[in-house]
Amino acid sequence: MPYNADEARYNDVEYKRVGNSGLKIPAVSLGLWNNFGNDKPLENQRAILRRAFDLGVTHFDLANNYGPPAGSAESNFGRILAEDFRPYRDELIISSKAGYEMWDGPYGEWGSRKNLLASLDQSLNRLGLDYVDIFYSHRPDPETPIEETMGALATAVTSGRALYVGVSNYSPEQTLAAQKALAVHGIPLTIHQPRYNMFDRHIENGLFPVLDEIGAGSIVFSSLAQGLLTDRYMQGVVPDGSRASEGRWLKPGAISDTYLQRVRGLNEIAEGRGQTLAQMALTWVLRHPQVTSALIGASSVGQLEDSLQARDASPLSAEEIAAIEPFAVDGTQLR
């Protein structure tokens, strides 16, 4: 069936400005990290993407290595984009990244000019696009000068292959250095993509003031801690097909007695607010003004719809934040 987007898709949806830029993205965006590879049915992917856009989600986040296998998420998204979303291209924010291993040899990963620009061209080919809206350095390179890495991002903009650039997984100090290296080329560092959730709070140790200082926004990933901040494991059982059962990104040992005590405490607070735990976890990360958007993954339309209800939630009160604090312990997912 031909796809026609819901005409009411922009009604009552919040779009937040990214730092000091003119770019706006939805408070909740869709990440294609783990559910859009060749191991998932294409029609399920299509249904999730269509429903997301119908509900006002305009930002789809990818990377060159998303799959599995690496590259397949971009290829699958590119196919659905061509078949369903081509008339809506100018309503979409499509991002990609480079930095993790993609091909053999010394140029297949990290932050060299060779890797980043070759990878960007490969991503554009898989996506069927002339440009991406945001292009990221996916991780800092301990060997390549940051001036070279940021120079490659600047070239992505000046050559018309990207509109904005950002960094992911950079420390506060590396973020400042990246901003200064980009400024030499007259290109702003628009956005930072860090991991952040109730069980991984490392960015609270200095990143937010840096974002204020340089005028950048952020979009946080793993907001639900790979499913730990949902009701999926709350009974102490690892369901078949879950990330903990697969063992790729989440080990079964994470479902510990300590985790269960904390997640059940959080769930009780969420229920008192009339939210699911996943919804409250998103409300919690979005409470920071520096967090422009929270990325969610979705393996089904129902899961997507549940998470998106967080957009309509009332802000957490000071009392609720205080009640959450004893359970929102950094490092919980590692124990």
Mean pLDDT of the region 198-223 = 98
Is residue 218 scored above 60 in pLDDT? yes
pLDDT of residue 133: 99
Angle, helices 277-285 vs 301-308, to 10°: value is: 50
Mean pLDDT of the region 192-200 = 98
pLDDT of residue 248: 56
CA distance 329 to 16: 28
Residue 77: pLDDT band (50, 70, 90) is very high
pLDDT of residue 246: 55
Q: Which token pair is 139?
A: 């991780």
pLDDT of residue 333: 76
Query: Domain-by-domain residue ranges, the chain?
Result: 23-193
Convert the pLDDT of each residue in 304-325 to its tens digit.
999 999 999 999 999 999 999 9
pLDDT of residue 249: 54
3-state secondary structure of 133: strand
Quote the Cα angle for 47-286-22, to 5°: 80
Convert the pLDDT of each residue in 237-295 to its tens digit.
776 655 554 555 566 678 899 999 999 999 999 999 999 999 999 999 999 999 999 99
Q: Specify the DSSP element, H or E, that contains 296.
A: strand 291-296
CA atoms within 13 A on the CB side of 272: 13
Cis check for the bond before 142: say yes or no (omega within 30 of 0): no
Percent of the chain with pLDDT over 90: 90
Q: What is the CA radius of gyration of the chain?
A: 19
Percent of the chain with pLDDT over 70: 95
Superfamily of domain 23-193, CATH level 4 = NADP-dependent oxidoreductase domain (3.20.20.100)
Higher pLDDT, 333 or 30: 30
How do strand 162-168 and strand 93-98 relate by DSSP bridges?
unpaired
3-state secondary structure of 165: strand
3-state secondary structure of 202: helix
Convert the pLDDT of each residue in 100-133 to its tens digit.
999 999 999 999 999 999 999 999 999 999 999 9
The answer to whether 26 touches 14, Cβ cutoff 8 Å, is yes
Tell me 109's DSSP state.
S
What's the chain's average pLDDT?
Answer: 95
Tell me 145's DSSP state.
-
Q: What is each CA distance from 205 to 164, 190, 281, in whole angstroms?
A: 26, 20, 19
